[in-house]
Amino acid sequence: MAAEFLAWLGAPPGLDWLDVGCGTGALTGAVAESCAPRRLAGIDPSAGFLDFARRRLANAGAELRQADAQELPFAAAGFDRVVSGLVINFVPDQKRAAGEIARVLRPGGEAALYVWDYGGRMEMMRLFWDAAVALDPRAQGLDESQRFPICRPEALKALFEAAGFSQVEARAVDVPTAFRDFEDYWTPFLGGQAPAPAYCMSLSEEARAALRERLRASLPTEADGRIRLIARAWAVRGRKG
C-alpha cells in the first residue's frame, strides 16, 4: 500500500519528509527507497515500534522520535512533505493533528495520508464483520466502519480543508490481496489484539465455528481454493498555501 500511495503523491528528489505515526517504519522505508529525501524524519508514540523501525531503517539516515501526532516536536515550516499511513483514525483529536501537520509544513508543501476503507473494499475486514454482525448484532459496535467515521473520503477532505489546506483531493488506492486458501484467510483472526481477532477469540467454540462457516460460504473462492480480495484505502492530499 505504501508504494501505491507514494506513486500517487509523487515528489521530486531532495525534499524534507516527515512520517507521522511511522510505526515499524513501513511507509518511512518506502519514502527512503523511492523518493530520495534530503531529510527523513518519523514520529510514533510507541517505543517498541520505534526500536523496530530504527533497526529496519538503520541505513536510511532517518531521524526517529517518540512523540504524539497531536504535538509534533518540530519547528514550524520544517518539511516539504508530511505523510501518514493508517494512523489518523486512532488519534483522539484529529483536528489538532491535522493542524500540527499544517504547522510543520513549508508554504507550498504537501500533506497526504491514507486509512483503510473499513466500510467498503477493505474486503478482508468487511467480509469478516458482515458475517459476524449477521450472526451476532452486538458485534456491530466493534466494526471499524462504525468506530472510525473519518475513514471516508468526504470526512478526510473536510479534515484537510478545516486545517487550511488547498487543492484537497481524495481517492481510492487499491491493492490486490490473495490468500492461498480459506485457512490462510482465517488464521489471522485467531490471534492478536486487534478488534476482529479479539472478538473472534472471545466467542464460544460453537459460535466461532458458525462464524467460520458463514465466512467460508461468503468468500469468493476459486476452483483451486485461492481467495482474491481487494485491500482499499482512502487517501487524501492537500497543499499548504
- Local confidence pLDDT in tens for the 241 residues of the chain: 999 999 999 999 999 999 999 999 999 999 999 999 999 999 999 999 999 999 999 999 999 999 999 999 999 999 999 999 999 999 999 999 999 999 999 999 999 999 999 999 999 999 999 999 999 999 999 999 999 999 999 999 999 999 999 999 999 999 999 999 999 999 999 997 789 999 999 999 999 999 999 999 999 999 999 999 999 999 999 999 8
pTM: 0.94
CATH number at residue 112: 3.40.50.150
H/E stretch holding 47 reads helix 47-56
Same domain? For 56 and 164 the reply is yes
Tell me which residue has cell 517505543: 47
Same domain? For 16 and 123 the reply is no
Same domain? For 81 and 171 the reply is yes
| Contact in structure between 67 and 50 (CB atoms under 8 Å) | no
Same domain? For 131 and 113 the reply is no
Same domain? For 51 and 167 the reply is yes
| Contact in structure between 169 and 114 (CB atoms under 8 Å) | no
Structural domain boundaries enclosing 124: 118-147+181-225
Total domains present in the chain: 2
Put the strands of the sheet holding 39-44 in their side by side order. 63-66, 39-44, 16-20, 79-85, 105-116, 227-239, 166-179
| Contact in structure between 227 and 220 (CB atoms under 8 Å) | yes
Same domain? For 18 and 136 the reply is no
Between the alpha carbon of residue 33 and those of residues 11, 20, 149, 189, the distances in Å are 13, 18, 32, 32
